[in-house]
Structure 1
Amino acid sequence: MTKKVIDLAKLPVRESTVSQETLEATPARVVAFLRALGTVPVLRKGLEARGYSADEHRRGWALLQAASGYDADGEGEVAASQVDPEVRDAIAEIDAWDEDGFRIVRAALGRLHPEQAKTVLAGLGPSTGAAAILGVETLLDRLDTLAKSKHPADRAAIATLEVRGLTEAERKRLRALVKVAKEGTSRDDAPSEETVQMADDRQRILVELRAWYEDWSEMARVTFKRRDHLLRLGLAQRKVRKKTDVAPTADGEAAGPSNVTRGKNGSTASKSGSTTGAFAGEST
């Protein structure tokens, strides 16, 4: 369905230079970037000086729409009523699990069992839809291989994952979800050729979208130095202010830092030297 927005035959063949997790996060970054360029004239004019044309702007939107599964004609979309609720729920649960699941595996194995991490996570990462089903299934296959291994290091890696929550019972639960999800996408208990092709097409589009974004976001960093401009483009993050002992005033404005110290008798003295108590200069 993405062919109606982007002609895949005209896309160059590229290898991804970032992780799958980064690829999947790219559309959200591109939304902020394109929205800023479409609504803030000073940003658009500044980047136009670097060669950013209307055609490039349209291409960014087209790639974003294609990566998001947009179909201008609505063809190829499956009505919700045609999808088995059990299958739909299984796919949704796998989608919801895979981001945190891959994060658990990466964190747990990356530090304590780096060799096993390389084997288990090679070429894998969070995804959506059919790609998520295939990714989680491959992950489970590799973890099962570790669990059956007689090598102490492999068994130790599985033991670590058990402690982190990826228990044998959890792996069996996920395996059952994958089975249900796959049965819903193909009669022969495997993703159909069309499903696999759609996942491959989306991957190509994500890689191309990433290349487009890296190109123009780097040009934007060269062009714009003001932090507010970079924030609008999604190229900077707002700083989180650390908590202090400064309390807000009634009107919402922060009060200035306290310059008052308290004496042993309960009186207070400002840094300027004045004192307050029941009366200034009160004796005890």
Structure 2
Amino acid sequence: MTTKVTYAKATLEATPYRALALLRGIHKNASIRAILLTVGFTREDATEGWELLHACTVAPGTDIEDLGIDVAEALRELDEWDERGFALVRATLTHRYPPQASFLMSGLEPAAGPEAVDGVARLLDRLDAFENDPLREELRDDDQAALAFLETRGLGREQRQRLRALVRTVQRATGSSSNSTRTEEGEELARLTRLRAWYDEWSELARVLIQKPAYLEQLGLAGRRAEAV
């Protein structure tokens, strides 16, 4: 008797990020493809993965492989930036502007994959609030001073705009609709479940077969344990 695997909604919603990293790593590294070939990974398996990802993420007519290049790079850069960026904000503001540091960093910690993108997006939203949130009018002078100090550390308006563009690149490609009907949501979860099944199979095989940390990092698997279903 076959037991159907079910996944938590959060796990499914994170799957396009995971699958994109896995597919891009396989696509770009011939050595990884050669290793997976030993357990039967073929062009058809890669095509299946891209098509499942395409069904979950982008509008019809979009070339997902071309899109994936920009998205994968944006995801990688945000994943790398959040650790040093969050540390920079804390180190710069905690003693000079404690209320501003607390507001900016509340609940934020470095993460990986979609959590990294969400964390950077939240930080950028809070930095924007320093400039234009009417509820912070009484704190505006200190907010502006904190922004000016962050600019001296490399987190000025230009850098924030660049990070925002990276966040939007990833969100456009992998974000799900928040306004879907119940039927549409059910269909979306079904598509995500099919993608997750594909991802689980090949990511687990990659973990078993690949020992080189650099290869696992390219696949988005470095230090990552299998997620709970």
Which structure: greater helix fraction? 2
Output the TM-score relative to the length of structure 2.
0.48
TM-score, normalization by structure 1: 0.39
Larger Rg: 1
